[in-house]
Every structure is written in C-alpha cells, then in structure tokens.
C-alpha cells in the first residue's frame, strides 16, 4: 500500500498527464507516490513513462475510469490525498467523426470518478479529509469561439461549447461543480488553452505538421488558416496544475494560458522556418512549400484566447517558456525522437489519417501531388 500522501492521476500515459507525472517524480521534486490509472487508448503511451516505470514511487493501473469497481478499489488501496483527472478523449476532429467515445469517457467517466471520490471523501477524517482535493483538468474550448476583437476568456465567461469534444468537457466541468456545490466535494477546475511540447500525439496541429514536414508530406491547413489558438508549453501547464493543487482555493476555477495567440498559418510557418534552420540538408527546404489548404473542419472555432490573470494574481504562477523558446524545444525533441513518433503512429493511426484527410482534398501523398498554397499571399 502507498503512503497516504500519494496522488491518483487519471490519463497519465497521455500527453499532458505524462508530463505532469515526469515532473512530479523528477529528482529534486516532491516525489510522493503517484498512481496512474490509464486505459491506454491510441493516445496513451506507457513508453513515455519508461524512465520512472520501475520507481517505487510509481504504480500503473491499466483500466477505464468508467469502471466504478476499479476506481473504488484503487482509492481504497492507495488512499490518495488527491485525484488529478486528465483522462479524456481529446481530439476535436475525432469527436466530429465519432462522438460516442467522448460522451462515454469525458462525461460518464468523470461522473464515475466523482461518485467514487465522493464516497471516498465521506469516509475520510481529520487531516486526510482537510487535505483531499479533486482537480479536474479541462479546456478553454468550453467557452466557445471568439471574434477577432473579443476579450479573452476569463473564469466568468459563459460556457458556449461548439464541438462534441468541447460539449463533453463542458458537461464534465458542470458535473464537477455540481458535486462540489451539492456534496461538498473539495474540487478545483482548470481550463487551459492549447498545449504543445514533447510527447504530443501527432494528430494535433504542431506535431502533425512537424512530422509531416520531416517526411516531405504536404501540411494540411484547414480553411483559410487564420484561426487563432493561444499556445502554452506543456511543462508550463504541468507547473500550473501543481500550483492549483497546492494553493488553489477550493471550489474555484483557474484559467491557464501563455498569452501566445497565433494564427494556425503563423504556427505552421514558424515550424517550417525552424526546420529549415535545424535540418539544413533537408530535401524539402524551404519547408513552407509543403503548405496545402484543405477543406475546413465543420463548425471550426475561430479564436481562443485565455486571460490567465487570476492564477497569476492568486497563485503567483507564470509560464516559463515563450512561444519561441517552447517551439524550438519541441521541434528539437521531435527531431531527436523519430522512433517514438514511428512507434505511436503505426497501426490504427494510419486508418485515422485516411479517415480525416482523404476527403479534404489534400495532405496525403507527396507535396508535388497537391495544390500548393502561397502563405505570403494569405498572410
Ligand atoms: P491525450 O489524448 O494525449 O491523453 C489522454 C489519456 O487519457 C491517454 O493516456 C488515454 O489512454 C487516457 N484515457 C482515455 N480514455 C480513458 C478512459 N476511459 N479511462 C482511462 N484512461 C483513458 O490528452 P491530453 O492532451 O494529454 O489532455 C489531457 C487532459 O487535458 C484532457 O482532459 C484534455 O481535455 C485537457 N486539455 C488538453 C489540452 C491540449 O491542448 N492537449 C488543452 C487543455 C486541456
Ligand atoms: P488541434 O491541434 O486539433 O487543436 P484544437 O482543435 O483543440 O484547437 O488544432 C489546432 C488548430 O489547427 C485548429 O484550428 C485546427 C487546425 N488544424 C489544421 O489546420 N490542420 C490539421 O491537420 C489539424 C490537425 C489542425
């Protein structure tokens, strides 16, 4: 049995959860025991956690957050002082093609966890009861889409989710708030902007563009490429979650963002420029020649932007990376870890590429086969 100061993480084999765990167990950090409950969907890669796999402080539980018996038994056995809930289906395009898994994991799964956490919390006494936290990791996409001049999302912005993914995350946030309000569950919610960094599954924009460009495949820009996202380096998200877990006020929501609004086109061009510099012998230089406009995402949110003043003011959290430093680190990591990419993108991922990109009129096959976009013209 782990000590009472352990924490239970869900979805810790995914992009952000694994970053959080590696940071939690890094030499010099707090290093209290951590239990990782993960179903290992296509997005979960235990290999990311290989360096801590045999640590006595790390326990992996392979399973589904919708499995109430499993969640109950993990809580009973490990007596965690907190649950940090990352597990989710997280890709908007997949939610459009097949929303079922999103409703199941993001809504039913969160409900299952909340019920188990509530029963567990009711049985706690004294300091253990005072200490306990349920931290729900959510997204800025619950707030919907901004126009160019709208102010950034703050914690009081009304929810207006537009995609099946965003709707399922909004539903889970509402459940967490209801469990805090009605049953007194000591919950916290974080709503973060788009993350990027090492170990991100290459279905998301930044790693997709990076890995395609390295192979000379055309780079699919949805619609006009002028959609704006507010990018945060994943290590900064992990440190923000730490701050909220340690010092966040119970029942509160904290928006997390890096104040790095960029259009998709700007992001892709920045990646291409870094690749031109870091892979000077590439046959595909200049990489920007690979840009290809493809059919837009249905219901595509135009702009997200986060006002992160509350977490800065109350908890003293600030991102350590600028977009430029974080992107450079990310590009270098993907250049150094091509085998990781090969392994995670084999098998079923190929089917997903087929599903998502074949009918968009671009992005498959070699660059020469595609109609090219001139980024200068549309900038
Ligand atoms: P991810 O898709 O990389 O990883 C999700 C992890 O959850 C995987 O390891 C997967 O195996 C696991 N999982 C999925 N269904 C499960 C289930 N039913 N039971 C147990 N485990 C299951 O996701 P991510 O990008 O690391 O996102 C983590 C969390 O952060 C999500 O809740 C997401 O909504 C939120 N978030 C993500 C971003 C972003 O830019 N990626 C931004 C803000 C918030
Ligand atoms: P994504 O990484 O899927 O994150 P989200 O949809 O959660 O913001 O996409 C980021 C932006 O990049 C979004 O506006 C959609 C766009 N995009 C493309 O233009 N081409 C692509 O192939 C992908 C995957 C995304």
Sequence ranges of the domains in the chain: 7-199+233-256, 205-225+261-299+322-378
Residues forming beta bridges with residue 137, ordered by sequence position: 190
pLDDT of residue 28: 85
**Averaged pLDDT of the chain:** 93
What lies within 8 Å, CB to CB, of 54 at 6+ separation is: none
pTM: 0.95
Cα 261 to the center of its chain, rounded Å? 17
In the structure encoding, which two tokens stand for residue 124, read together? 């706690």
The answer to whether residue 4 scores a pLDDT higher than 90 is no
Provide the 3-class DSSP secondary structure of residue 133.
strand
Q: 301-359 pLDDT, tens per residue?
A: 999 999 999 999 999 999 999 999 999 999 999 999 999 999 888 877 888 888 899 88
From the candidates 38, 89, 93, 141, which is the catalytic residue? 141
The question of whether 357 is a catalytic residue gets the answer: no
Q: Which residues line ligand 1 (CB under 6 A)?
A: 10-11, 13-17, 37-41, 43-44, 64-66, 86-90, 105, 109, 137, 139, 169, 192, 194-195, 201
Q: Tell me whether domains 7-199+233-256 and 205-225+261-299+322-378 share a fold.
A: no
**Helical H segments across the chain, by residue range:** 15-24, 68-78, 92-97, 100-102, 110-122, 126-131, 164-183, 205-214, 234-247, 264-278, 309-315, 323-336, 338-344, 348-357, 375-378
Question: Which atom of ligand 2 is the closest one to the Cα of 141?
Answer: 7
Question: Is the distance from CB of 163 to CB of 92 less than 8 angstroms?
Answer: yes
Report, as an integer, the average pLDDT of 15-23.
Answer: 98
Q: 144: alpha, beta or left, given left = phi > 0 and alpha = psi -120 to 50?
A: left
Mark whether 69 is an active-site residue: no
Report the pLDDT averaged over residues 273-293.
98
Q: Which ligand is nearest to the CA of 223?
A: 2
- As a whole-number percent, the residues of the chain with pLDDT over 70 amount to 94
Q: What is the mean pLDDT of residues 21-40?
A: 92
* Position with higher pLDDT, 168 vs 5: 168
Q: Which of 38, 64, 93, 140 is catalytic?
A: 140
Query: Per the omega criterion (within 30 degrees of 0), is the bond before 260 cis?
Result: no
Q: What pLDDT is attached to residue 52? A: 95
- The two three-digit tokens of residue 234, written as one number: 């994943």
Structure confidence at residue 252 (pLDDT): 98
Q: Residues near ligand 2 with C-beta < 6 Å?
A: 92, 194, 204-205, 208, 220-222, 227, 229, 264, 297
* Mean pLDDT in residue range 4-20: 94
Mapping DSSP to helix (H, G, I), strand (E, B) and coil, where does residue 263 land? strand
Share of the chain above pLDDT 90, in %: 88
Instruction: Quote the tokens at residue 22.
Output: 């590696």
pLDDT tier at 362, thresholds 50, 70, 90 = low
Q: What is the token pair recorded at 69? A: 């018996």
| 151: Cα separation from own chain's centroid | 23
Which CATH code fits 205-225+261-299+322-378?
3.90.25.10
- What is the average pLDDT across 260-277? 98
Q: Is the pLDDT of residue 138 over 60?
A: yes
Cα(10) to centroid of ligand 1, in Å? 9
Query: Does 150 participate in catalysis according to the annotation?
Result: no
User: Which pLDDT does position 347 carry in this prediction?
Assistant: 76
Q: Kindly list the distances between the CA atom of residue 334 and the CA atoms of 19, 83, 258, 273, 288, in Å, as whole numbers in the listed order.
A: 15, 31, 22, 15, 18
Q: What tokens does 327 get?
A: 């992107």
Task: With a cut of 80, say whether residue 60 has pLDDT above it.
Answer: yes
The helix (run of H) or strand (run of E) holding residue 228 is strand 228-230
Give the CATH superfamily of 7-199+233-256: NAD(P)-binding Rossmann-like Domain (3.40.50.720)
Q: Taking 60 as the threshold, does the pLDDT of residue 372 lie above it?
A: no
Q: Average the pLDDT over 244-273 and give the result.
A: 97
Label residue 167 by pLDDT band (50, 70, 90): very high
Give the CA distances from residue 103 to residues 143, 162, 375, in Å, rounded to whole numbers and listed in that order. Answer: 18, 14, 37
Please give the structure tokens belonging to residue 31.
């290093």
**Residue 256 pLDDT greater than 50, yes or no:** yes
What pLDDT does 306 receive? 98
Average pLDDT over residues 181-197: 98
Atom from ligand 1 closest to the CA of residue 91: 2
Residue 66 carries which DSSP code? T
Whether residue 39 is predicted with pLDDT greater than 80 in this model: the reply is: yes
Is pLDDT of 226 > 60? yes
> Cβ(258)–Cβ(234) under 8 Å?
no
């Amino acid at each position: 049995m782990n000590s009472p100061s352990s924490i239970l993480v869900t979805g810790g084999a995914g992009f952000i959860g694994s970053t959080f765990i590696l940071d939690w167990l890094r030499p010099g950090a707090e290093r209290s025991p951590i239990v990782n409950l993960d179903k290992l969907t296509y997005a979960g890669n235990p290999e990311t956690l290989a360096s801590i796999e045999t640590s006595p402080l790390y326990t992996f539980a392979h399973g589904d957050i919708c499995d109430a018996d499993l969640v109950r038994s993990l809580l009973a056995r490990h007596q965690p002082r907190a649950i940090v809930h990352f597990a989710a289906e997280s890709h908007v395009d997949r939610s459009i093609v097949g929303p079922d898994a999103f409703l199941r994991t993001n809504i039913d799964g969160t409900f299952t966890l909340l019920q188990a956490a509530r029963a567990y919390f009711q049985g706690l006494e004294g300091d253990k009861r005072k200490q306990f936290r349920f931290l729900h990791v959510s997204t800025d996409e619950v707030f919907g889409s901004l126009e160019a001049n709208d102010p950034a999302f703050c914690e009081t912005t009304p929810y207006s989710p537009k995609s099946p993914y965003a709707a399922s995350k909004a539903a889970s946030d509402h459940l967490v708030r209801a469990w805090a309000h009605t049953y007194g569950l000591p919950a916290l919610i974080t709503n973060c902007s788009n993350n990027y960094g090492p170990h991100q599954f290459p279905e998301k924009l930044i790693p997709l563009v990076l890995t395609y460009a390295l192979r000379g495949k055309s780079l699919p820009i949805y619609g006009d490429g002028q959609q704006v996202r507010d990018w945060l380096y994943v290590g900064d998200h992990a440190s923000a979650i730490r701050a909220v877990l340690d010092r966040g006020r119970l029942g509160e929501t904290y928006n997390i963002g890096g104040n790095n609004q960029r259009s998709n086109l700007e992001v892709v061009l920045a990646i291409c420029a870094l690749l031109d510099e870091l892979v000077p012998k590439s046959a595909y230089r200049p990489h920007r020649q690979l840009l290809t406009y493809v059919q837009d995402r249905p219901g595509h949110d135009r702009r997200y932007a986060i006002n992160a003043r509350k977490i800065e003011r109350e908890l003293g959290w600030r991102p350590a990376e600028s977009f430029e430093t974080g992107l450079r680190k990310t590009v270098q990591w993907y250049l150094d870890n091509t085998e990781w990419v090969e392994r995670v993108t084999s098998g079923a991922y190929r089917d997903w590429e087929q599903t998502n990109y074949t009918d968009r009129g671009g992005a498959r096959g070699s660059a020469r086969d595609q109609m090219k976009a001139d980024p200068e013209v549309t900038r």
